[in-house]
Every structure is written in structure tokens, then in C-alpha cells.
Amino acid sequence: MLKNLTQAEALREALVEEMRADSRVFVMGEDVGPHGGIFTVTKGMWEEFGDERVRDTPISEAGFVGAALGAALVGGRPIAELMFGDFAAVAMDQIVNQIAKARYMSGGKAIAPLVLRMTIGARGATAAQHSQSPHAWMVHTPGLYVVAPSNPADCKGLLKTAIRDDNPVIFCEHKKLYFEGGPVPEGEHTVPFGVADIKREGRHVTVVAISYMVHKALAAAEKLAEEGIECEVIDPRTLVPMDWQTVYNSVKKTGRAVVIDEGHLTAGVAGEIAARIGKECFDYLDAPVERVCTTDTPIPFSPQMEEFVIPQVEDAIAGIRTVLA
């Protein structure tokens, strides 16, 4: 049975179902309690689960992210929320030096089953310190899984998988999608890690798009379809592990690839995807891989400038045209 949910509702459903099923699961973060989270994800959960399991934290990102690790190491299954992904920088040591390495440094004896939910993306002119998409830092850090869904059903299914997984998972939620709706399976619904979703099939060009950028890619594809250009839009859904095979297979078919990511251009995830396609599909590529990313500038405040630095549908179209030229 499908029902229509927003991303926020789908995430909440995953949280609630998993918390009902497993008493070790709990959420913590700033304003997640009675307030329900500034993006409403935990709305109503405090009423059901109470103070202990829907835990408001002080503004101490390094502290509560580290505490999530501590709880996970001794048997809990915490889900910590970073209100803005930009604040990952505040908790960075705990994320990259502690959480990502706890298992490896112990020779595989420790497990750190925790989920760190963080918002990414520019929305509503919140400027340079509240608009970033820093998933590349995490993807560059071995030991973390990194998830970046683009629709409510994947949000629910991937979040459930993340909560049940024994590895630490960075769960990137795009701010522009929280209040966008989509069909979501009721009850048990999981999406495995490492399986990309081909959101649209096509034979002229492969477009790999991450998170919200999937929507830009689909809009571009729709537009170009009018001209007879058939884009294959791939949503990797999980960046670590990444479903490289699906990407390569598509590019081997189309011979052309565009990567769209809201992270900054240089040394980001799009660069990784472009580099791997360049290597694995070398003999199949008819044109260089094109990247459509946020410019290498901080995100400016004023909306027209914000729009300018973030990939838009026209940028996606331009990128696709470039590889087809």
C-alpha cells in the first residue's frame, strides 16, 4: 500500500517504526524534542517516546555526536541530528576521527551502529554557514556510509536500513525536499545500500545526480525529451557504498555522462564519479564527462546570487548539451 507523504513525514515514519520495533533506538539533537525539529521531522515523537528517547541536546555538536558514538559502542543505537550539515564541521573530529575509525582501530571488535542525520543544500537564503552540502568530506573519510536520498520513499527505506545497519551512517537530507510529497510504501519498506535507482531510462546520455539534484536532472531530461534527447537519470542514493556498476553500465550504453551535485565543484563527489567513469568507461566515452556543481564560492545570501551558484535546471541542460555537442 502506498500513501503520499512528504520527505519529513517519510523520515518520521521510519524513525517511529524503528523506535517501536527496537528499544535501543533513540534520537537526539537540537530542538528535536517537544519542538519536533526545525524541519518538523520529529514532530509528535516526543509525545510518544518521551524525553529520554527523543532527546533535546544543548548546542554542543561535538558533544552530542561524540555521545552518540559512546552510546553506540556500548549497545545503544542512537540517531543524532545535525540541524544544518554545515555544523558537521563543529563535530568533525567526532565524525571523522572517532566514529569513522572506531571499528577499524579496534581491529573490528567494536561496532558503532549510529545514524547521523544532517541537512544539506541551500534553501531560503540562509547564506554561507547554513546552506552547504558537505557530503564530500564524509565520502572522503573511510569508515562511514553516506546516504543521500532524493524522494520520500527512498528516505523511509534508506533510513530504516541505516538504523538497522551496524555501521555508522551519515544520512544527508536535502532541505528543499522536506515538504515535497511522494508515494511511500506503508509499514516495512527498506532500501538496500549500494543499489542505485535509475529514475528515468534513456539512451543518449547518462546523468548521475545526487539528492535534490535528481529533480533538476529529471526536469532537464523532461525538457530535452521534447527535442528527442533521451537522458538516463541515475540516482546513486548511497554515495558510500556506491553502485558503480549501474553507473558504468549506463555510460557504456550512452557513451556520455554528466554528473550533477550540489557540493562545490572542486574535489567533491562529482569529481570522483567523473574520474571513475573516465577510467572504467574510457573506451566507451564519446565526450568528456561534464560536471554541474555548485561554484567554488561560499553560498551568498541574496537569492539571485544563491541561485546563480547552485546548479539549476538550465545548468543541467547546458551540461547535457555540452556532452552531446
Partner 1 sequence: MAKAVTTRPTQDTHLLTMYRQLVRMRVFEERVRDVYFAALMPGLAHVYLGQEAVAVGVTEALREDDYVTSTHRGHGHVLAKGGDPKLMMAEIMGREAGYCKGKGGSMHIADLSLGIIGANGIVGAGIPIAAGAGLWMKMRGGDSVVACFFGDAASNQGAFHEGINLAALWDLPVVFVCENNLYGISVRQNRHQKIVDIADRAIGYGIPGEVVDGMDVSAVYDAAKRAVERARKGLGPSLIECKTYRWMGHHAGDPARYRPEGELDAWKERCPVKLCRSILISDGILTEDEDARIQAEVESEMREAEEWAAAQPFPAPERALEDLYA
Ligand X SMILES: Cc1ncc(C[n+]2csc(CCOP(=O)(O)OP(=O)(O)O)c2C)c(N)n1
- Sites for partner 1 among residues 47-106 (CB under 8 A): 52-53, 56-60, 62-76, 78, 86-87, 90, 93-94, 97-98, 102-106
Residue 21 binding result from partner 1, ligand X, a second copy, none, given CB thresholds of 5 to 8 Å by partner type: none
Catalytic annotation on 130?
A: yes
Candidates 15, 25, 96, 153: give the one binding a second copy (CB under 8 A).
96
CB of 97 to ligand X, least distance (A): 9
Phi, psi for residue 118 in degrees, rounded to 5: -140, 145
* Nearer CB in complex with partner 1: 4/129: 129
Q: Counting contacts by CB under 6 A, is residue 59 touching ligand X?
A: yes
Distance of CA 13 to the CA centre of its chain: 18
Candidates 32, 72, 83, 233: give the one binding ligand X (CB under 6 A).
83
Phi, psi for residue 297 in degrees, rounded to 5: -140, 155
Q: Counting contacts by CB under 8 A, is residue 240 touching a second copy?
A: yes
205, 232 in Cβ contact below 8 A? Answer: yes
Q: What is the per-residue binding string for partner 1 in 268-297, x denoting contact by CB under 8 A?
A: ---------------------------xxx
CB of 123 to partner 1, least distance (A): 10
Residue 95 binding result from partner 1, ligand X, a second copy, none, given CB thresholds of 5 to 8 Å by partner type: a second copy
Candidates 13, 18, 61, 262: give the one binding ligand X (CB under 6 A).
61
Catalytic residue (one of 130, 135, 204, 264): 130
Q: Counting contacts by CB under 8 A, is residue 195 touching partner 1?
A: no
CB of 93 to ligand X, least distance (A): 7
Catalytic residue (one of 17, 18, 61, 290): 61
- Stretch touching a second copy by CB under 8 A, among 63-71, 155-163, 189-197, 282-290: 282-290
CB of 281 to partner 1, least distance (A): 25
Residue 180 binding result from a second copy, ligand X, partner 1, none, given CB thresholds of 5 to 8 Å by partner type: none
Residue 218, all three cell numbers: 529529471
Residue 314, all three cell numbers: 538550465
Q: Are strands 231-235 and 197-200 parallel, antiparallel or unpaired?
A: antiparallel
